Amino acid sequence: MLGTATASCGLVLLLVVVVLLVREIRHEPPPHDPPPVAEQRVGMTGGEFTPMSAVESVTTFRATVTSVGTGVEGLEGRNGPLTPDGQFVVVHLTVKNTTRSPTHAGVSGFDFVDTDGEVAAPHREATTEAMALNGLPVGGDLELGQTKSYINVYEVDASARPAELVVEDADLFGPSTIDIAG
């Protein structure tokens, strides 16, 4: 009789542990390895890249910054090299659709903020060229559960240091931020 009660108690304890582990796994964002350094620098001159895993979930998607490159001096372009007035800051990120229907995600929804509070939108031409050089589509719809990689390029002052990305979430709550200070 005592052995049966002990076995039942052990089984209940095991079940509780399994439930808690499953609950923890569901709430943790999946691990994401940053792309190799060679992939981060395709078509870029100079710069220092810092791998990271900074995550922000908004109403329609989850954005994960996988690396930030500062001090990029130039970028290959279809019509010749692009040179910043200051520096390019290059942000690699993935975006996953977390809704129950297709949603639109593009590079324009992520503004760069430096440590002095200066804000920059993605540099349209440099971002398009960086995406093309890496074989990535610019914008488009994300199907349910789909994840896409993006590269955003910002033209900022030579002394600018990354602080955060402001993520627009026009569906409900307005902007959120991702800490990219590294």
Q: For the chain, which residues make up each domain, given as ranges?
A: 1-30, 37-179
Residue-level pLDDT at 36 = 47
Task: Return d(Cα 61, Cα 169) in angstroms, integer.
Answer: 9
Task: Return d(Cα 165, Cα 152) in angstroms, integer.
Answer: 11
User: Is the pLDDT confidence value at 174 over 50?
Assistant: yes
Return the bridge partners of 154, or none: 89
Task: Return d(Cα 172, Cα 121) in angstroms, integer.
Answer: 21
Return the bridge partners of 24, or none: none
Residue-level pLDDT at 107 = 67
**Does domain 37-179 bear CATH number 2.60.40.1240?**
yes
- Which ranges of 28-160 would DSSP assign to H, the alpha helix? 37-40, 124-133
pTM: 0.74
DSSP-derived 3-state class of residue 101: coil
Give yes or no for a contact between 56 and 177, defined as CB atoms under 8 angstroms apart: yes
Of the candidates 151, 165, 182, 178, the one whose C-alpha atom is nearest the C-alpha of residue 43 is 151
User: Is the pLDDT confidence value at 155 over 90?
Assistant: yes
Return the bridge partners of 158, or none: none
